Amino acid sequence: MSEEKKLENLADETLESVSGGMSVELEAAYAVNRGYYGSGDACSANLARAGLNPGAVLALASDLAKYEDVAKAVVRGEYGKGQKRIDALTAAGYPADVVQNLVNNMCWDPKKNRYL
């Protein structure tokens, strides 16, 4: 699967809805990137034991790793707001919708059911 094809799917996966929070696969992808499932073959085995599709979660984790730093920069205000942000992200070669969905997830507090 091409990188472009995987990134198309990432925008849909990153924020299911404001009230619904993250998908199980996305939560697992964040956990994978933080080392909670181990590494290498152990990671895949632990994901499978948790009832997840290791290939899908690991692909999503890889995509998250690519764009998480950019999303953090957006949160810090480095790309501006509104259309200026979209234009700046696009000019830098980033898919603005994917990055914005990551930002939304980073700022969503499911316990309080609102954005931080």
What pLDDT is stored for residue 85 in this prediction? 95
What pLDDT is stored for residue 70 in this prediction? 92
pTM given for the model: 0.58
Which distant-in-sequence residues (6+ apart) come within 8 Å of 93 by Cβ?
none
Q: Compute the average pLDDT of residues 13-27.
A: 55
Question: How many residues belong to the chain?
Answer: 116
Residues 26-71: tens digit of each pLDDT:
888 888 988 999 999 999 999 999 999 999 899 888 878 888 889 9
What pLDDT is stored for residue 107 in this prediction? 75
Angle at the Cα of 80 from the Cα atoms of 96 and 97, rounded to 5 degrees: 15
Both tokens of residue 5?
């094809």
Instruction: Report how far apart the first and last C-alpha atoms of the chain are (Å, whole number).
Output: 35
Average confidence score pLDDT of the chain: 78
